[in-house]
A and B are shown apart, each in its own frame.
Chain A
Amino acid sequence: MWRFALVRTGQLLVTLFLASVAVFLVIEHAPGDPAQVQLGLSATPAEIAVERRKLGLDASVMHRYVVWLGQALHLDLGRSFATGLPVTRTIVTAFGYTLRLDVLAIVLGIALGLPLGIAAALRRGSRLDAGISAFAALGLSVPVFAMGTLLILVFAVHFKVMPAAGAGVPGQSVLSSLRYLVLPAATLAIPFAAVLARYLRVELGEAMEQPYVLTARSLGLRRRTVVVNAWRNAMIPTITVMGIQVGRLLAGAIITETVFSYPGIGYLTVQSIQSLDYPVVEGVLLLGAAVFLLVMFVVDVVIGFASPRMRIEGA
């Protein structure tokens, strides 16, 4: 198992390195000259040349990549063209918002998906099961942006019980900042819950049909104990899928945050791309890859430790 973890760590580092090269090259080939962007359209060619040297743009690509990577490793990603603030600080602030949103979304998603999935699995073929399956199918068929817009329409515009956009003002109470989180978190949580319910239904349903369930019942164990034992089997494949879903929350956040003008990483990404704010774009793309890969890595390792067979016999 430790060997497996070590190999996976190696893979993670290699992919991260390649991802950094990819990010660098994308920015390198993106239209627009950073020096030009810095100085504005009125700059003369001479001024631009000076600026290019100042920004280190006259060095070779290899050289610039190494310098850039070295700085990135020291968490120095330069300053935003748009605001002049250090990119790292901008990203950390935005990431804090996104983290809050994602955590709430995961909590809501589990709180909704877990009971629905278990209920459907234990009553397979019933009307309840059919209803839950229909909900899950619909939850997955409505695109995130549509879900968000519909929630705004119902709860912000029609009933006026929730704010439609933003994250409120700094220094507000926890409760009022929570109000801003509810709708975007629900937008992310619904498809999350739908996937969770679907998988749990299939996996737990299958686990409940395994011979060991019959054995457990023949030994007189309580239904609750029997279900919990089966659930532990069902959770291993379910964790894998949910890990991928957590990774996808990041993608979902881009759209959700745009729908709700919520100042997280996703919103920052779209904004920085639209305004060609390259240092910020580099930062968010790097962070995006790092977080996504890290989540996948954690899922793999968690699965390794959750499955006794893998833990003992190795991958």
Chain B
Amino acid sequence: MSAVPVSVRDATGPTVTVPRWWRGLSWRALVGAGGVAAFLVAAVLAGAVSPYSPDALAIGSRLEGPSAAHLLGTDQLGRDVLTRILYGLRPSLESGFAAIMMAAVVGVALGLPSGYFGSLVDTVVTRVLDLLVAWPAVFLALAIVLLLGTGELQVIVAIGLAEVPVFSRLVRSIAMVAARSDHVVAARAAGASSLRIMLRHVLPFVVTPLVVQFAIAAPQALVAEASLNYLGLGTHPPAPSLGAMVSEGQSFLAYAAGPIVFPILVIVALVVSLTLLADGLQDRLDPRSRIGAR
């Protein structure tokens, strides 16, 4: 993004150059960004912050309520809930990020030639993507787990694949317009190769919408990750994950709500933060388009 700075010319002051996306972010976006940053720090520092191991069993102190020793209490195996939440944030954030990254990369790889060349390439890509959207995302994830077994990597692939069509269509629609722009036509006339034109002249148009779509997809990916872990298709126990904590705690709901309520609160707070950030970025970067709203 820093490659496309804009000049803000004040009538009285000197010319200031700021990165385009940082200007005029709403307070909501800043709250969202702050929340996301806080969770990131918490996840990274999990080991330094908590005196407990996420897997340390303590049969003597099971399903305890919040106390000075265990701020958020303990779960059915006596493990510290706060510690498990902090460690559980890691797979959520990692998988979510990796999945969208994958979706963006594959989306660009499919969408760019699809929009640029049109015709046959476009038809083939569109048909393949139709197949991906023929199932609700969870079905897709289940099929992938069926093929590859359970695990974090599978979760990433499943979520990433489900998000590919959105990214690809976005890139395709922009590439279609960019392919007809004057400087692309000029570059073609000058004898530049198609690959070079796509990367040098079409891709820059795609960057800003991609950033916005990335932000929009982030909370969705996070929810998907937690859901797949809830279904037991993600990380293998005893490795902590927010979704799995809820599913494990459900059987003990009658005895203690903490092991479920706290992870849920964390997930919701994280999703809300990401959504606020995405809304803010969207308002800031493309006020006319309403990708998220339609």
Do A's and B's CB atoms come within 8 Å in the complex? yes
- Tell me if B272 and A247 are in contact (CB < 8 A): no
In the complex, B27 has a CB within 8 A of chain A:
no
Q: Mark A221-261, 1 if CB is under 8 A from B, else 0.
A: 00000000000000001000100000110110011001100
In the complex, B93 has a CB within 8 A of chain A:
no
Q: Mark A76-115, 1 if CB is under 8 A from B, else 0.
A: 0000000000000000000000000000000000000000
- Tell me if B268 and A142 are in contact (CB < 8 A): yes
In the complex, A137 has a CB within 8 A of chain B:
yes
Which residues of B have CB within 8 Å of A31? 147, 149
Alpha-carbon separation in the docked complex, A145 to B231 (Å): 9
- Tell me if B138 and A251 are in contact (CB < 8 A): yes
Which residues of A have CB within 8 Å of B226? 143, 145-146
Interface range, A side = 35 or more
Interface range, B side = 35 or more
- Tell me if A273 and B142 are in contact (CB < 8 A): yes
| Residue in A closest to B272 when the chains form the complex, CB atoms | A141
Interface of A is mostly: helix
- Tell me if B142 and A270 are in contact (CB < 8 A): yes
In the complex, B16 has a CB within 8 A of chain A:
no
How many A-B residue contacts, CB cutoff 8 Å?
123
- Tell me if B138 and A254 are in contact (CB < 8 A): yes
- Tell me if A285 and B230 are in contact (CB < 8 A): no
CB distance from B229 to the nearest CB of A (A): 9
- Tell me if B146 and A293 are in contact (CB < 8 A): no
Q: Mark B253-283, 1 if CB is under 8 A from A, else 0.
A: 1100100110010011001100100000000
Contact of B134 among A15, A198, A269 (CB under 8 A): A15
- Tell me if A141 and B135 are in contact (CB < 8 A): no
Contact of A145 among B143, B230, B253, B261 (CB under 8 A): B230
- Tell me if A153 and B257 are in contact (CB < 8 A): yes
- Tell me if B146 and A137 are in contact (CB < 8 A): no
| Residue in A closest to B247 when the chains form the complex, CB atoms | A145
Q: Mark A117-130, 1 if CB is under 8 A from B, else 0.
A: 00000000000000
In the complex, A182 has a CB within 8 A of chain B:
no
Alpha-carbon separation in the docked complex, A23 to B260 (Å): 35
Alpha-carbon separation in the docked complex, A281 to B139 (Å): 10
Which residues of B have CB within 8 Å of A237? 294
In the complex, A29 has a CB within 8 A of chain B:
yes
Contact status of A29 and B275, CB under 8 A, knowing A146-B268, A157-B253, A288-B139: no
CB distance from A186 to the nearest CB of B (A): 16
Alpha-carbon separation in the docked complex, A293 to B130 (Å): 10
Which residues of A have CB within 8 Å of B208? none
Which residues of B have CB within 8 Å of A27? 146
Alpha-carbon separation in the docked complex, A15 to B134 (Å): 7
| Residue in A closest to B230 when the chains form the complex, CB atoms | A145
Contact of A18 among B131, B136, B147 (CB under 8 A): B131
In the complex, B137 has a CB within 8 A of chain A:
yes
Alpha-carbon separation in the docked complex, A82 to B30 (Å): 53
- Tell me if B138 and A255 are in contact (CB < 8 A): yes
CB distance from A19 to the nearest CB of B (A): 5
Q: Mark B237-251, 1 if CB is under 8 A from A, else 0.
A: 000000100110010
Contact status of A22 and B146, CB under 8 A, knowing A141-B272, A251-B136: no
Contact status of A144 and B227, CB under 8 A, knowing A19-B131, A153-B260, A270-B142: yes
Contact status of A152 and B246, CB under 8 A, knowing A31-B149, A145-B226, A145-B227: no
Which residues of B have CB within 8 Å of A293? 134
| Residue in A closest to B263 when the chains form the complex, CB atoms | A146
Which residues of B have CB within 8 Å of A22? 131, 143
Which residues of A have CB within 8 Å of B134? 15-16, 18-19, 289, 292-293
Alpha-carbon separation in the docked complex, A118 to B231 (Å): 36
CB distance from B279 to the nearest CB of A (A): 9
Which residues of B have CB within 8 Å of A137? 272, 275
- Tell me if B294 and A153 are in contact (CB < 8 A): no
CB distance from B232 to the nearest CB of A (A): 8
Contact status of A152 and B253, CB under 8 A, knowing A26-B147, A255-B138, A288-B139: yes
Alpha-carbon separation in the docked complex, A299 to B134 (Å): 14
Alpha-carbon separation in the docked complex, A93 to B293 (Å): 37
Contact status of A247 and B136, CB under 8 A, knowing A141-B271, A153-B257, A269-B142: yes
Which of B136, B147, B267 neighbours the largest number of chain A CB atoms within 10 Å of its CB? B136
In the complex, A315 has a CB within 8 A of chain B:
no
In the complex, A66 has a CB within 8 A of chain B:
no
- Tell me if A149 and B264 are in contact (CB < 8 A): yes
Which residues of B have CB within 8 Å of A285? 135, 139, 142-143
Alpha-carbon separation in the docked complex, A274 to B146 (Å): 8
Other 4 A-B pairs with CB < 8 A, given A149-B250, A157-B254 = A14-B127, A142-B268, A145-B227, A237-B294
A-B contact pairs, 10 of them (CB 8 A): A18-B130, A26-B146, A137-B272, A145-B230, A152-B253, A202-B293, A250-B136, A255-B230, A285-B142, A288-B136
Give 6 nearest A-B pairs by CB, closest first: A251-B136, A251-B138, A146-B264, A145-B230, A141-B271, A143-B223
